[in-house]
Structure 1
Amino acid sequence: MSAAPGAESPVFIIGTERSGSNLLRLILDAHPRICVPHPPHFMRYLAGLADSYGDLHVEANRKQAVDDALGLLRRHIHPWQHPIDPQRVLREAAPSVFGVVAAVYDQYREAEGAARWGCKSTFMVEHVEEVVAHYPKARFVWLVRDPCDVASSAKRAVFGPSHPYRMALLWRAQQARAMAALGGLGSSMVHLLRYEDLVSNPREEIERLCVFLGEKPEPAMLQHHRSSAARRTAGLAEAWRNAALPVTPQRIGAHRTGLTPHERLLVDKVTGPLKSHLGYPVEPGAQALPAPSPVLVAVRSAALRTRVEYRSMRQDRNYRLRLGRDVYVRWLRVKARARHHYPWSTAGTRPSPASPRGAA
Structure 2
Amino acid sequence: MSAAVPPPGSARPVLIIGTERSGSNLLRLMLDAHPAIAVPHPPHLMRYLAPLAASYGDLGVAANRTRLARDALRIVRAHLHPWPHPVDLARVVRESDASTFGVVAAIYEQYREAEDKPRWGCKSTFMVDHIDEVLRRYPDARFVWLVRDPLDVAASAKRAVFGPSMPYRMARLWLREQRCADAALARHGPAVVYLLRYEDLVTEPEGALNELCSFLGEPMHAGMLHHHLTSGARRIGALAESWRRAAQPVGADRIGAHRTGLTAAERRQVAAVAAPLARRLGYDHGSDADAAPEEVAPSMVAMALRSAGLRTVIEVRSLCRDRNYTRRLRRDATVRSLRLTAWARTRVPMELPQLRTR
TM-score by length of 1: 0.93
Determine the C-alpha separation between the residues in 2 that align with 1:222 and 1:80. Answer: 23
1:72 aligns with 75
Match of 2:140 among 137, 142, 156: 137
1:354 aligns with none
**Residues 268 and 296 in structure 2, CA contact (< 8 A), matched pair in contact too:** no
2:230 pairs with 1:227:
yes
- Superposed CA offset, 1:45-101 (max 9, x none): 000000111000001100110011000001000000000011110111111110000
Deviation at 1:344, TM superposition (A): 8.7
Uncovered stretches (5+) of structure 1, i.e. residues with no partner? 346-360
| Secondary structure in 2 matching 1:91 | helix
Match of 1:306 among 308, 312, 318: 312
1:172 aligns with 175
Determine the C-alpha separation between the residues in 2 that align with 1:298 and 1:98. Answer: 34
| Secondary structure in 1 matching 2:15 | strand
Deviation at 1:342, TM superposition (A): 2.2
2:3 aligns with none
Determine the C-alpha separation between the residues in 1 that align with 2:346 and 2:213. Answer: 45
2:153 aligns with 150
2:297 pairs with 1:294:
no
Instruction: Work out the number of aligned pairs and report it.
Output: 341
2:126 pairs with 1:123:
yes
Determine the C-alpha separation between the residues in 2 that align with 1:6 and 1:343. Answer: 44
| Secondary structure in 2 matching 1:342 | helix
2:36 pairs with 1:50:
no
2:38 pairs with 1:32:
no
2:281 pairs with 1:278:
yes
2:317 pairs with 1:316:
no
Runs of at least 4 residues off by over 6 Å: none
Determine the C-alpha separation between the residues in 1 that align with 2:286 and 2:302. Answer: 23
Deviation at 1:39, TM superposition (A): 0.2
Deviation at 1:295, TM superposition (A): 1.0
TM-score by length of 2: 0.94
**Residues 14 and 124 in structure 1, CA contact (< 8 A), matched pair in contact too:** yes
2:81 pairs with 1:84:
no
2:338 aligns with 332
| Secondary structure in 2 matching 1:149 | helix
Q: Which one-letter code corresponds to 1:331 in the other structure?
A: S
2:105 aligns with 102
Deviation at 1:282, TM superposition (A): 2.0
Determine the C-alpha separation between the residues in 2 that align with 1:144 and 1:6. Answer: 28
Determine the C-alpha separation between the residues in 2 that align with 1:291 and 1:11. Answer: 37
| Secondary structure in 1 matching 2:253 | helix
Determine the C-alpha separation between the residues in 2 that align with 1:291 and 1:23. Answer: 32
**Residues 14 and 120 in structure 1, CA contact (< 8 A), matched pair in contact too:** yes
Determine the C-alpha separation between the residues in 2 that align with 1:161 and 1:225. Answer: 27
Uncovered stretches (5+) of structure 2, i.e. residues with no partner? 1-7, 352-358
**Residues 157 and 164 in structure 2, CA contact (< 8 A), matched pair in contact too:** yes
Determine the C-alpha separation between the residues in 1 that align with 2:350 and 2:299. Answer: 45
| Secondary structure in 2 matching 1:191 | strand
Deviation at 1:283, TM superposition (A): 3.4
Q: Which one-letter code corresponds to 2:13 in the other structure?
A: P
| Secondary structure in 1 matching 2:121 | strand
| Secondary structure in 2 matching 1:250 | coil
Match of 1:211 among 191, 211, 214: 214
Deviation at 1:290, TM superposition (A): 3.1
Q: Which has the higher mean CA deviation after the structures are superposed, 208-217 or 336-345? A: 336-345
2:192 pairs with 1:186:
no
Q: Which one-letter code corresponds to 1:140 in the other structure?
A: F
Identity of aligned residues (%): 62
- Superposed CA offset, 1:228-274 (max 9, x none): 00000100000000001111111100000000111000001100101
**Residues 267 and 288 in structure 2, CA contact (< 8 A), matched pair in contact too:** no
Determine the C-alpha separation between the residues in 2 that align with 1:31 and 1:59. Answer: 36
| Secondary structure in 2 matching 1:25 | helix
Determine the C-alpha separation between the residues in 2 that align with 1:91 and 1:344. Answer: 31
Deviation at 1:292, TM superposition (A): 1.2
**Residues 140 and 190 in structure 1, CA contact (< 8 A), matched pair in contact too:** yes
**Residues 265 and 283 in structure 1, CA contact (< 8 A), matched pair in contact too:** no
Change in CA separation of 1:32 and 1:298 when aligned onto 2, cut-off 3 Å:
same
